[in-house]
Chain A
Amino acid sequence: QLQLQESGPGLVKPSETLSLTCSVSGASISNSGHYWGWIRQPPGKGLEWIGSIYYSGTTYYNPSLKSRVTISVDTSKNEFSLNLRSVTATDTAVYYCARPRRWDNAFDIWGQGTMVTVSS
């Protein structure tokens, strides 16, 4: 059964870089034919797609975050990662990794989410 698990620091200082990893179990990132994505949700608010990556390294990002975001993949570890630079308090959110369906971008598999707070 496919499972996604986010990991990383729960507290990041303003102006620093938020780094999270999504570990994939139950399927191989490189053999699945899927993209893999990151989505966030500020406390009490709605969902925002951050970006997605293919096992080959092809990425596409939300333009609102593109200048600060890098998503990468490590097929040897079967995981993909999110780096968000120069964070501010507005980046405080629950961060989810998720997998969209193969033929469209409806996200059918989600990690449990990890709360990241930006504060000094």
Chain B
Amino acid sequence: EIVLTQFPGTLSLSPGERATLSCRASQSVSSNLAWYQQKPGQAPRLLIYGASSRATGIPDRFSGSGSGTDFTLTISRLAPEDFAVYYCQQYGSSPWTFGQGTKVEIK
């Protein structure tokens, strides 16, 4: 099973700042990586698939990059609604696995 490690565990930032979240896979997943946003009491929402493609309706302040084992989710300017937990997921090799999450909190 591929293990995904996300860092940092918590990111404390102010609205308008840039957020950079990382996800590292224990072995290559090519570009088979997705990012999700989850707010309290809600289901996850797909942000990015294929490592860098934005899902339908996702603002362009969200961008993804990377391939192989190292991936990044960047939020160019944090909006108030962006404070949440973010998960990466690999689907390069079954079983599909998720990272443990990065919480983006208001500083």
Contacts and interface: CB of A to CB of B under 8 A. Distances in A.
Interface of A: 46-49, 60-64, 96, 98, 100-101, 104-108, 110-113
Nearest to A4: B43
A111 B91 CA distance: 20
Contacts of A112: 42-43
Secondary structure at the A interface, as helix, strand, loop or mixed, is: loop
Given A96-B43, A110-B44, A104 B91 contact: yes
Interface of B: 1, 32, 34, 36, 42-46, 49-50, 55-56, 87, 89, 91, 94-101
25 contacts: A46-B99, A47-B36, A47-B44, A47-B89, A47-B98, A49-B96, A49-B98, A63-B95, A64-B95, A98-B43, A101-B49, A104-B91, A105-B32, A105-B91, A106-B46, A106-B50, A106-B55, A106-B91, A107-B46, A108-B55, A108-B56, A110-B43, A112-B42, A112-B43, A113-B43
A48 B98 CA distance: 7
Contacts of A64: 1, 95
B44 A46 contact: no
B68 to A, nearest CB: 17
Given A110-B44, A113-B43, A49 B99 contact: no
B28 to A, nearest CB: 16
B96 to A, nearest CB: 4
